[in-house]
Chain A
Amino acid sequence: QSVLTQPPSASGTPGQRVTISCSGSSSNIGSNTVNWYQQLPGTAPKLLIYSNNQRPSGVPDRFSGSKSGTSASLAISGLHSEDEADYYCAARDDSLNGVVFGGGTKLTVL
């Protein structure tokens, strides 16, 4: 049981816009920033979004993040087949004094 709650799956067709939600509490998302990671099959996670809505260099602007209260969202617009991957949200948790992850969302591009 993960501290942050994500839907286990999401899907879309090429060109569509999809969103993935991440729900937490006052001790994590409510008081700290959110990161999003993309994990392609058989590879290490890659930082996609940091500080709620910032993209590291090299990440396409098709990927965007937002946060409101104790929830956050990742949006992917203009879906590509290569976006098929697992996506994880993460945040620092002040009560646990560590990092907590969501359970991950498997994105399928139909």
Chain B
Amino acid sequence: QVQLVQSGAEVKKPGASLKVSCKASGYTFTSYYMHWVRQAPGQGLEWMGVFNPNGGSTNSAQKLQGRVTMTSDTSTSTVYMELSSLRSEDTAVYYCGRGGGYSYGPDYWGQGTLVTVSS
């Protein structure tokens, strides 16, 4: 069965960088995209970007361009999302979600990673 397991919660200081991992299993890793979506406390879902493990191409939301980097390690079927220059507004639960299965958008989701940015 498809599973996406994310790394654990993190606390970061403003200006620092964050790297969240998402380990996939139960499907052919390079055959599907990986989306990143975040949710600030009490808020809705915000699409951050998408990564194609087959070739490494990425596309990210305009407001995050320049701060977000997505990479992968195909040997471990893991996708990484790195966000730099953190500010308090980046406090959120970060989700990875497999795309390109049922449709372009995410079908299976990771459990989420809580990131708190605080001085």
Contacts and interface: CB of A to CB of B under 8 A. Distances in A.
**Chain A partners chain B:** yes
Interface of A: 2, 32-33, 35, 37, 44-47, 50-51, 54, 56, 88, 90-92, 96-104
A90 B105 contact: yes
Contact of B103 (A35, A46, A98, A104): A35
B62 interface: yes
Given A98-B50, A99-B50, A88 B103 contact: no
B35 A99 contact: yes
A54 B102 contact: yes
Contact of B49 (A2, A33, A56, A98): A98
Contacts of B50: 98-99
A8 B95 CA distance: 22
Given A44-B111, A56-B107, A103 B35 contact: no
B interface, by DSSP: helix, strand, loop or mixed?
strand
A51 B47 contact: no
Contacts of B9: none
Q: Interface size for chain B: under 10, 10 to 19, 20 to 34, or 35 or more residues?
A: 20 to 34
A50 B107 CA distance: 8
A51 B44 contact: no
B105 A35 contact: yes
A92 B105 contact: yes
B109 interface: yes
A43 to B, nearest CB: 8
18 contacts: A2-B44, A35-B102, A44-B110, A45-B45, A45-B109, A46-B109, A47-B108, A56-B102, A96-B61, A98-B59, A98-B60, A98-B61, A99-B35, A99-B104, A101-B37, A101-B47, A103-B44, A104-B44
